[in-house]
Amino acid sequence: MGFAFSLLGNILKMGFQIDVKILTTLMKGLCLKGRVLEAVTLLDEYVDRGFRFDEVCYGTIINGLCKIGKTKDAIQMFPKMKKIRVYPNLIMYNTVIDGLCKQGLVDEACGLCTEMVENGIELDVYSYNSMIHGFCSVGRFQAAAKLLDEMAVRGKVYPDVYTFNILIDGLCKLGRISEAYNVVAVMIKRGWKPDIVSYNALMNGYCLSGSVNEAKQVFDKMVERRALPNVISYCTLINGYCKVRMVDEAMVLLTEMHKKNLVPDTVTYNCLLDGLSKSGRTLYEWDLVEAMRASGQPADLITYNVLLDDYFKHEKFDKALALFQHIIEIGISPNIRTYNILLDGLCKSGRLKYAKEIFQLLSAKGCQPNIRTYNIMIHGLCKEGFVDEAEALLYKMVDNNYLPNYITFDTIVRAILVK
């Protein structure tokens, strides 16, 4: 963009006149770089100079505004356009409707659909898909189903696989799997076959409800019908197995993925690490971390938190502290979960002094203690007999607008009784 504006300067110095096409190209460039507000400023500046821009320019700005979440600003472009007799087209309306729906503003999107029809522009499949997705995302499935019926009644716009998959995915995420199957039945009746996205949504629904065996049945059915499982299919099922502690089955799927040259994502590796840790099988953990690196999925903070927690649970205190130091050295900033794991491990291993030092520095490190942090420290202080300090920390906790819970009071009361 720097060179582009430099070239604009040269054009003006050479005495040439710039036109709408040049300015529109610059605005598009700014929008592509995420500098949408600069593009809007440029538009306003040249409108004030008497330039009349067309649908292409306004469409570019509207699309840019919607992408950065400023959908309401995009709507404000419509009256500006109408003043110079440039009218919103189908693509512009769809862009704004989609933006509103992604922000959960489905009623505003409905109003825009009404305006669109009043202006003689018929809704197309993209309009309906955006609206259906919007209603599903806010849990209004009856309204989404009504739109599907409306498409059938009108007969001009037909739902596609994507339309049905939106409904299937939304219902599955809320655990309404039987209703999702009803949508699949309607989908097949209307001549569409479930695709990989449909199967993945059903698997995810079962896994979210803990019904991993049913998810595996969907996986097997998908293979039978020659819909080849993809990375998402495997990762969904692996995550499901790990959540119900069926780590052996998850590891079999991981091996199968490697044989098919499918690369698990970092979330899946982290889920496997957590599953192995909770199953007490720590021997495999660093093998998985190496496998992550080899497949181009570097360990992230969640990975290190799982490993740190595992080391403390198995009383490998020196390894845990070395790992914490390693996290700092490689430039990953610990979060409050990291510090909670560290503080809990230090207190349980009798290193209260070190724990107190770290606790005092939390705010300076940009991590605000939460209720778990306070409970860990209060428990650590009471365990070592520092009940007065624990009580002082309780009052500090209240001063910082954290309400003590059952664990807090139970810890202190038990300590006072022992004292």
Q: Which helix (H) or strand (E) holds 324?
A: helix 317-329
Cβ atoms 368, 396 nearer than 8 A:
no
pLDDT of residue 148: 85
CB under 8 Å to 303, separation ≥6 — which residues? 266, 269, 270, 273, 289, 292
Q: Which helix (H) or strand (E) holds 193?
A: none
**178 inside domain:** no
**Residues 130-140, mean pLDDT to the nearest whole number:** 91
Show the domain range for 58.
1-87
Closest CA to 419 of 42, 349, 411: 411
**208 inside domain:** no
Q: Which helix (H) or strand (E) holds 211?
A: none
**37 inside domain:** yes
Residues 31-70: pLDDT tens digits? 999 899 999 999 999 888 888 898 999 999 999 999 998 9
**Residues 117-133, mean pLDDT to the nearest whole number:** 92
Closest CA to 366 of 344, 408, 338: 338
Confidence at 285, pLDDT banded by 50, 70, 90: low
Structure tokens at 189: 């009746």
Count up the domains in the chain and report the number: 1
**128 inside domain:** no
pLDDT of residue 286: 64
**Residues 252-259, mean pLDDT to the nearest whole number:** 89
Instruction: Give the span between the Cα atoms of 128 and 113, in whole angstroms.
Output: 9
**64 inside domain:** yes
Residues 58-103: pLDDT tens digits? 999 999 999 998 999 999 999 888 888 889 999 999 999 999 999 9
Q: Where are the beta strands (DSSP E) in 238-293?
A: none
**296 inside domain:** no
Q: Is it the case that residue 282 has pLDDT exceeding 80?
A: no
Q: How far is CA 410 from CA 67, 186, 382, 406, 417, in A?
A: 50, 55, 11, 6, 11
Residues 370-393: pLDDT tens digits? 999 999 999 999 999 999 999 999
Q: Percentage of the chain with pLDDT > 70?
A: 98
Instruction: Give the span between the Cα atoms of 355 and 80, in whole angstroms.
Output: 60
Instruction: Give the span between the Cα atoms of 203 and 184, in whole angstroms.
Output: 13
**104 inside domain:** no
* DSSP collapsed to 3 states, 340-395: HHHHHHHHHCCCHHHHHHHHHHCHHHCCCCCHHHHHHHHHHHHHCCCHHHHHHHHH
Single-letter amino acid code for the residue at 340? N
Q: Is it the case that residue 155 has pLDDT exceeding 70?
A: no
The enclosing domain of 24 has a CATH number of 1.25.40.10
Q: Percentage of the chain with pLDDT > 90?
A: 48
Residues 177-198: pLDDT tens digits? 999 999 999 899 888 999 999 9
**228 inside domain:** no
Q: Is it the case that residue 419 has pLDDT exceeding 70?
A: no
pLDDT of residue 237: 94
Q: Is it the case that residue 175 has pLDDT exceeding 90?
A: no
pLDDT of residue 284: 58
Residues 322-366: pLDDT tens digits? 999 999 998 889 999 999 999 999 999 889 999 999 999 888 888
